[in-house]
Structure 1
């Protein structure tokens, strides 16, 4: 379920204070002080709730059956397996008596998003370097959770449902499917298709010979983690939103942050992130080919979504392949 592409979202809708108080009473979390919708992440599913017992995040109106159960499983495992701060305890209420849908309630983690107006203005270069190091170490911690199969979690059995095809076939079919889908909203030429197929073919052997799936968050981006300064050193203070987590190639988790840094003209920060992450790995040559495919994968999804919703800042004169090639070439050069 986590590997499905979900473009729609279930918003929370209008929530009354007496509903929030009923929720707080049910879980013995004090008296309501205030509440407001979150600005980042979770596709409109979350709300900040402050009470006399603390600050919390409400997440509700699940996108699919098992979303909250799945996320709770990932959060509890990350909490046991690593030192990464995650929202524990993660409490689920399956009943729909309060809001008309099931929900979870979890503690609000400390820190700020790196793309908040405050930090975008005030972070120094050395602060960004420290944050990049913390990101690399956090992802390395996530990826220490090694498994035997490529696939997604079954929220009923808590076992991994293996992809029907090999991981190589699953990933490549997925990329080509969404590239074809993008034709509905933008010009995708025969040259674009050939370019993508060539890139995929060049990495076939590296994916076929890759046998080390790990847990991956699947959506590691600025909106899903917080940073905090302690003793004048910035580091990640919390990670949340594990709706897109599954088990596959760990390099996947690097893509959104690499893209974020490249888009903000912070190539040196992006390179530092990769250098720290790869410092203890021996498969750099294989990673170069695999990471280009993961970049193509993410860019296909981003291109299709942006074109479908007619985002103004995505209008450019580059063809799809030329646009993506700038990213694949950049990420390859960062590993040299």
Structure 2
């Protein structure tokens, strides 16, 4: 919220002097600037929230993938451990029934052999324990027994190495899961913060929209009856048919004249048949004019708020009695004020 306050802390004003001495002032209306800043920040927070949710989903998917890999490795390592138990049991049997072959293997492992029947070799090395026990180990030659022991030892070593590799890989995967978990915890915390911030900004946006609507709407600038509407009429002084570019509100002299909408006072002075006038620039090409005043309460360049007193009703200029001539202009063209202030 600090960025919003900083963006609207100062009201930017730009002015130039016209040939007639009038001052045209361009004002950055605070509520609208604040609303723009709020919308910008809300958009950024929402985008951050969307990105954080996508990142969270991606990290959760990675964790799930790592978990599946770990489960796969766990299942495989359980299988390998069962196999290793069988190999160890076979080696135990060999050590019991053929100790000489077992000892000789550790003294000098024999490489290359052709004597042992291939099926017997397969049963000895790859079968389950019950099938292994059916092999007649006592009648087997020393070289064959040594070969079985050698094969079992080689298989044992290979399984143990694979189990070590699996354990190491599981550690790596678990580290990945732990890292993603930390990141997810941070993301969840940030998402909670963003949720609160977005909720607050949304509330502030709603509030500011109401302020903007109020600030940018027009009110009736004076109490009194409508004595002459907008449009063509018979002029009460000249008697000629002419365009009446505003509305007339009649009341007693001295009745308060109010700013119909907030803005910057652009002109204060005497203007021929209009008498004493005040012109307020509301920004966006909108101006309002207040004529036939008896006195002023504002000066050029002053910011006024909607409903603020800017002068008093009178009959200065060409007027038949005390009243306010009120105009609203869009880019310099007079429009019916009742389109803006209602009836």
TM over 0.5: no
Structure (1 or 2) with the larger CA radius of gyration:
2
The two structures have a TM-score, normalised by structure 2, of 0.20
More strand by share: 2
